[in-house]
Structure 1
Amino acid sequence: MDEMTQLRELRADAPVPDRAALAPGRSRLTDAIAGNGGRRTLALRLRLRLTPMLRDWRVASLGAVVAVTAAALVLTQVIGPSAPDRSAPATVVGDLDLSSPAAALNRAADHLERQEVPPEPRADQWIYIREVDGWQERQWEELPEEVRKKTPMTYSPDRWVPYDDKAAENDTSDTDYRTARESYRIAAALPEDPEALLARLREVFPTGSGPDGAPEAKDEHSFRALSVLLESYPIPPDALARIYRAMATVGGVEVTGHLIRDASGREVIAVARKHDRSESRREILIDPVDYSYAGNRDVVTKTHEVPGPEGLAPIVQKRGDVLIDIARTHAAVVDAKGQKP
């Protein structure tokens, strides 16, 4: 029996809490981390990292063990000691043009449009992803042993998700989550026109008020929607080209004038946009060789204080601190769960 089956059967008779019941806790957690301005991004990050294991809300019936584990992983990852600053300038190689978002992203799009489009994965295939996330790994290792023993979750840089996941497709509780197949088909159907493409993605990944904060402005909403889709795999190369061309048109988007070091030590392109209501920026990382999605970071743009968890002193976030630092080092379509390319 696999871990997910054990997890689902542990308390199969437990009632399923609705989103309204879960919202206050999530709101307090994300408010404590980054203030109102960064709530939606951080709530999204929590969902994206834990969704493969926590999609079945009966997990909530495990009580404090799972809740405390998830909170510890995220809270310490985001507001713990400053991560190493990997933003030191690196030499631009080859024919890269990092003078502007349009120059960098249109060059990437030109390259991708010349690539052959592989066939869509079969319904019985799996998506293998390996991501380096030093903070999450470290926080898992530092959790008390008794907590780790009581939770069925574990940290691993490797994960497998089914390409065809009908149960997840029918779960409409999370408007930001899409299965691999849904994401592939959404990307493949995106229009050529950048404005129309962004409008479509804002429909697919809506904004609004509620537990995730106030509605986003158009440009922030567009950049977040692009970020969410880019975390999916696979995306056809011609569709990725259209996505990059559209990203270059989003207001406030910048590209660093040099390559940066990601969490795995690679030199990558960073396409960034500052969050509208917080002192940090979101960076989408792109491989400078094949222009594939290479990960993401959140970086503090101005030294400031944020409220700490109840009863604790405010947290000082310093300019240049890396709050989220995830490097995707492998992604592939495989024939079975557990298989690596």
Structure 2
Amino acid sequence: MDEMTRLRELRADAPVPDRTALAPGRKRLTDAITGRNRRTRVLRADWRVASLGAVVAITAAALVITQLVDAPAPRATAPATVTGDLDLSSPAAALGRAADYLDRQEAPPEPRADQWIYLRAVSGEPAQPTRKDGKGSGTSVVVDHGDPESWIPYDDKAAENDPGDTDHRTARESYEIAADLPEDPEALLAELRRIFPTGSGPDGPPEAKDEHSFRALSVLLESYPIPPDAQARVYRAMATVGGVEVTDHLIRDASGRQVIAVTRAYDRGDSRRELLIDPVDYSYAGERDVVTRTHEVPGPAGLAPMVYRRGDVLIDIARTRAAVVDTEGQKP
């Protein structure tokens, strides 16, 4: 029996993860998964501004994340046969290996227009800033306990006609965008920057080329489903983006699984975005936002400055299941 067959058998009964899109205020994680909002760009813009208003916005976005509980016990660790073979020495090595694996997979048929996308996710408890005087953040936050499962129509004509969010694409649109991407990494990145334009005005100043590329790639990878050969092209292109790194060890996501973290620091601010990838089948597994430098920010009037510490996790979302189903409410 060859190595890849053994790996597929090890993974045969495990859930398959995939897409989550960010949105201002984190209305609900299930809404974010559909890409119906703009939180990705709003969060990025917030980190660019060293002001009280930015701090409040970041704190609210980080702390009002929907707390979801996934029913089955999470996979605690990747199989030793997989972790022993991983090469996390560089983005080119890690993402190139992922792309090679995906290129060998048979593409399932595109979902029918009348089918639905089933998604399930879990989020971790976000870190709260502390006041420099040690008396707490002084912030009152209500955590919204939302539904851990969602069903999204594959072909959503009403959502396609929504002009309010230039990052939003329906599942069908995202599938077609991915399938049509060129092989050449530079051309692929240019196409995604065109499809997912950079911010302006209320969305913050325009992103630099590399930050824009990483964000556009991330938005697409959060979609489900994506043809495996298209996902392979996306990974190879991601490895060429300036500033992209890969953590040299597996990290634990919000569900307890060990996953690969592909990272890029925001050009302005003191945090980085982490795109999480399953080390077994290289599917999208979630995302994190992590503070990269301990720093103080002004507190509300009359209160001591608030402190964000290096390593604080502000956003921690793990997708634990994604599947195509025939009807809304059906579970795979």
Per the alignment, do residues 313 and 185 of structure 1 end up closer, same or farther by CA in structure 2, a change over 3 Å counting? farther
Out of 213, 230, 244, the residue aligned to residue 222 of structure 1 is: 213
Identity of aligned residues (%): 73
Per the alignment, do residues 127 and 263 of structure 1 end up closer, same or farther by CA in structure 2, a change over 3 Å counting? same
The equivalent of 2:84 in structure 1 is 94
1:196 paired to 2:180: no
Alpha carbons 2:166, 2:196 under 8 Å: kept: yes
Superposed displacement of residue 209, structure 1: 1.7
* Distance across 2 between alignment mates of 1:233 and 1:53: 9
For the residue of structure 2 that corresponds to 1:281, the secondary structure is strand
Q: List structure 1 runs of 4+ shifted beyond 6 angstroms.
A: none
Stretches of structure 2 lacking an aligned partner (at least 5 in a row): 1-20, 38-55, 65-77, 127-140
The equivalent of 2:111 in structure 1 is 121
TM normalised by structure 1 equals 0.71
Q: Render the CA deviation track for 1:87-119: whole Å, top value 9, x for unaligned.
A: xxx988131100000000000000000000111
* Distance across 1 between alignment mates of 2:161 and 2:150: 22
1:132 paired to 2:122: yes
Alpha carbons 1:268, 1:286 under 8 Å: kept: yes
The structure with the greater share of residues assigned to helix is 1
Alpha carbons 2:265, 2:272 under 8 Å: kept: yes
Q: Render the CA deviation track for 1:293-321: whole Å, top value 9, x for unaligned.
A: 00000000001123456776543110000
Per the alignment, do residues 73 and 245 of structure 1 end up closer, same or farther by CA in structure 2, a change over 3 Å counting? same
The equivalent of 2:42 in structure 1 is none
Superposed displacement of residue 178, structure 1: 0.7
What pairs up with 1:127-206 in 2 under 5 angstroms? 127-135=117-125, 143=142, 155-206=146-197
Per the alignment, do residues 55 and 194 of structure 1 end up closer, same or farther by CA in structure 2, a change over 3 Å counting? closer
Per the alignment, do residues 263 and 229 of structure 1 end up closer, same or farther by CA in structure 2, a change over 3 Å counting? same
Stretches of structure 1 lacking an aligned partner (at least 5 in a row): 1-40, 57-71, 81-89, 137-141, 149-153
The equivalent of 2:62 in structure 1 is 78
What pairs up with 1:319-334 in 2 under 5 angstroms? 319-334=310-325
Alpha carbons 2:34, 2:152 under 8 Å: kept: no
Per the alignment, do residues 79 and 134 of structure 1 end up closer, same or farther by CA in structure 2, a change over 3 Å counting? closer
* Distance across 2 between alignment mates of 1:289 and 1:54: 26
Alpha carbons 1:194, 1:245 under 8 Å: kept: yes
The equivalent of 1:65 in structure 2 is none
| Structure 2 letter corresponding to 1:315 | M
Per the alignment, do residues 306 and 230 of structure 1 end up closer, same or farther by CA in structure 2, a change over 3 Å counting? farther
Per the alignment, do residues 45 and 175 of structure 1 end up closer, same or farther by CA in structure 2, a change over 3 Å counting? farther
Superposed displacement of residue 337, structure 1: 1.0
* Distance across 2 between alignment mates of 1:172 and 1:326: 27
Q: Render the CA deviation track for 1:55-112: whole Å, top value 9, x for unaligned.
A: 69xxxxxxxxxxxxxxx998456269xxxxxxxxx98813110000000000000000
The equivalent of 1:20 in structure 2 is none
Equivalent pairs counted in the alignment come to 265
Out of 278, 285, 288, the residue aligned to residue 287 of structure 1 is: 278
Superposed displacement of residue 227, structure 1: 0.8
* Distance across 1 between alignment mates of 2:190 and 2:147: 36
| Structure 1 letter corresponding to 2:110 | E
* Greater Cα shift, 243-252 or 298-307: 298-307
* Distance across 2 between alignment mates of 1:54 and 1:189: 20
The equivalent of 2:202 in structure 1 is 211
For the residue of structure 2 that corresponds to 1:182, the secondary structure is helix
Per the alignment, do residues 162 and 199 of structure 1 end up closer, same or farther by CA in structure 2, a change over 3 Å counting? same
Alpha carbons 1:123, 1:164 under 8 Å: kept: yes
Out of 230, 245, 248, the residue aligned to residue 254 of structure 1 is: 245
| Structure 2 letter corresponding to 1:301 | T
For the residue of structure 1 that corresponds to 2:276, the secondary structure is strand
TM normalised by structure 2 equals 0.73
Per the alignment, do residues 313 and 95 of structure 1 end up closer, same or farther by CA in structure 2, a change over 3 Å counting? same
